[in-house]
Structure 1
Amino acid sequence: MTTRVGGRSLAVSWIIGVLCAAVVGALLWLSLPAGPGLLVVVGHLLDGTVPG
């Protein structure tokens, strides 16, 4: 069960929720090219901490 807040439209909240999810998805899509570089940096940071 959910609690309804007075003055809030269910349709508008759905539209805003979908738009927010789209913005988060677009930011993740734009950040994908940074993945390999980030893995290299993390690898170099962890190089000195792993024994062996």
Structure 2
Amino acid sequence: MAARVGGRNLATSWIVGLLCAGVVGALLWMSLPAGPGLLYMIGQLIDGTVPR
């Protein structure tokens, strides 16, 4: 299911794809500590807009 573009080596495209997936995974891993703060901010926004 890989897109074949003329002039591209299949092995090179796999290596670059794995590197890109690794970078995305590393960025997600580094962003995990921001999760609780983000959920708190979203909760505060929702509390201010939902009538009680």
Q: Same fold (TM over 0.5)?
A: yes
- TM-score class, shorter: 0.7 to 0.9
- Percent identity, aligned pairs only, is 73
4+ residue runs over 3 A deviation: none
Question: Which position in structure 1 is the counterpart of 2:21?
Answer: 21
Structure 2: which 5+ residue stretches go unaligned? none
Secondary structure of 2:49's counterpart equals coil
TM-score when normalising by structure 2 = 0.87
Question: Which position in structure 1 is the counterpart of 2:35?
Answer: 35
Question: Is the alpha carbon distance of 1:34 and 1:3 closer, same or farther for their aligned partners in structure 2, counting shifts above 3 Å?
Answer: closer
Within 1, Cα distance between the matches of 2:36 and 2:50?
Answer: 20
Question: Is the alpha carbon distance of 1:36 and 1:2 closer, same or farther for their aligned partners in structure 2, counting shifts above 3 Å?
Answer: closer
Within 1, Cα distance between the matches of 2:40 and 2:3?
Answer: 46
Structure 1: which 5+ residue stretches go unaligned? none
Per the TM alignment, residue 36 of structure 1 is displaced from its structure 2 partner at its CA by: 0.3
